[in-house]
Amino acid sequence: MVNPPNVREPESRQPAAQVPAQPRPGTRRVGSPLLERGRGLGESWAETRGRLRAAATTEPGRLWIIGTVVAVLVVAFGGITAWEISDRSAAAEDVVSRSQPLSADAASIYRSLADADTAAASGFLAGGQEPLDVRKRYDTDIATASRLLVKAAANTSGSADSAQQIAKINEQLPVYNGLVEQARANNRQGFPVGGAYLRFANQKMTTELLPAAQKLYEAETGRLYEDYGQADTWPYAATVLGLVALGGLVWAQRRNYLRTNRVFNHGLLAATAASTVVVLWLVVGHAVAASDLSTSRSHGQESLKVLNDARISSLQARANENLTLVARGAVLTQDGKDLYEAEFTSEMRTLNAKLGDAAHLADDSAGATPVKSAQADMAAWQDRHATARRTDDSGDYDGALKQVIGATGSTGECFDKVDAALDSALAHEQQEFTSAATDGRDALTGLPVGAAVLAVLAAAGAGLGISRRLAEYR
């Protein structure tokens, strides 16, 4: 039965009103802007991938992708090459112009301090009227050490250890100089206390100044070897990327030949030629630089280090020999022997070993001849020293003094000859180092800029070559 049109259904039969559900606090609605943006990005990326996939199914699309990849490889190769070689070129420049000169200056500081101590003892032994040449030698050594300390302080700002040692030397050097002046003043007046002042000055030199100078030398030499290591490291990333770029270019040209039967694509050929030049320049240039730097290290720096050690040992041996006569047995070792005589013997043993090493490292007659001369003079020095000790032990102090500091026939004469021979050998090895290290640095000159320029040209050539092929499809 059909209800009348104006009759309403009972309330119980009417559907319940739908109340929209309220979201919980802190929840995000399905249609939020953030989610919609994420969907938009995902759809955009999916659309891009779809276009790339569609492009890769056509020859123009493949050519565009190949050209882009090859150009990116070539540009990346040029950039990595410029970066790596710039880093190694800077390290090679530091070897030549910063770290090795600082190492040499540190060795000169040590030598000047040790030589000043030797000159002070020699002048004291000469009596109240110190010889003018000996006094001048002492003053020159102190001035040289002071000047080189100022130079080192200005160039070692990045090394805390070097700065600490320089500060220590600057602090103690005036104290040492004052003790030497006290020794001279008392010696001129004939006061025996002058010898005590001189021994105290020598103690300050050997226990504070020279150890600080040695640490400075070791720190600067360590920085030199760090620069060597950085300059010698092979540019692996640039080499691998260069070979990959060349492989990509060769593959692209072979593909072009197989599809078109055309032997050459001028753009790709130019890009391959430019990339080949960069790879060869990189390999040959760095190999030559590494070889020259290695030569400067093995035949220059290593010889310089040994010769500097030998010269320092000779200076310390001479100072101890003089102090043996100054102290006259007043300072003994724990086993009752003369301390300065024992240290003289130890330093001469070290000198003999260092001269043997220097002779082994010398690679030409110009370097070997002065070392052999130093060895002969050292042997004569030891013989004369033994004679002087026998004379002193027999009670003839004046005779022993003449045999030690006399103008002729003395141990001092032998010491001067050893020092002059070592100075000549050092000058030769320094020249050898400078020549080889400069050649190594110069072998990398222009490579960073050249690699960047050629890489850009190669990328342009690759792009031009691919664009000519794309034009055939229009």
- 6 pLDDT band, cuts 50/70/90, is very low
Four-residue CA torsion sign, 318, 323, 324, 326? positive
Q: Return the percentage of the chain with pLDDT > 90, whole number.
A: 54
Q: Is the dihedral of CA 320, 324, 326, 332 positive or negative?
A: positive
End-to-end CA distance of the chain: 78
Residue with tokens 């002058």: 194
Q: In 10 A of CB 128, how many CB atoms?
A: 13
Distance, CA of 52 to CA of 45 (rounded, Å): 10
Q: Which residue has the higher pLDDT, 324 or 26?
A: 324
Task: Give the CB-side neighbour count of residue 437, counting CA atoms within 13 A.
Answer: 29
Place of tokens 């220059």: 300
| Cβ neighbours around 330 below 10 Å, total | 13
395 torsion bin: left (phi>0), alpha (psi -120 to 50), beta (else): left
Could you read off the pLDDT of 115-127 as tens digits, one per residue? Answer: 999 899 888 988 8
Q: Any idea how long the chain is?
A: 474
CB 300 within 8 A of CB 458: no
The mean of the pLDDT values for the chain is 85
Write out the two tokens for 430: 């320094």
Each residue's pLDDT tens digit, 182-234: 999 998 988 889 889 998 998 999 899 999 999 999 899 989 999 999 998 99
Q: What are phi and psi of 143, to 5 degrees?
A: -65, -40
pLDDT on residue 10:
44
pLDDT for residue 252: 84
Task: Report the distance separating Cα 437 and Cα 129, nearest Å.
Answer: 48
Question: How distant, in Å, are the alpha carbons of 295, 408, 470 from that of 95?
Answer: 13, 43, 51
| 151 burial via Cβ count (<10 Å: 0-12, 13-18, 19+) | middle
Rounded to whole angstroms, the Cα distance separating 122 from 141 reads: 14
Assess contact for 370 and 430: CB atoms under 8 A. Answer: no
Rg (alpha carbons) of the chain, rounded to whole number: 40
Task: Write the pLDDT tens digit of every residue in 351-400.
Answer: 999 999 999 999 889 999 999 999 999 999 999 999 999 999 898 988 99
Look up residue 403 and give its two tokens: 């045999």
- Residue 140's pLDDT band (boundaries 50, 70, 90)? very high
Average of per-residue pLDDT across 171-188 = 93
Residue that has been written with the tokens 């070979």 in this structure: 243
Helix axis angle for 160-188 and 132-155, nearest 10°, is: 160
What's the CA gap between 80 and 86, in Å, rounded?
10
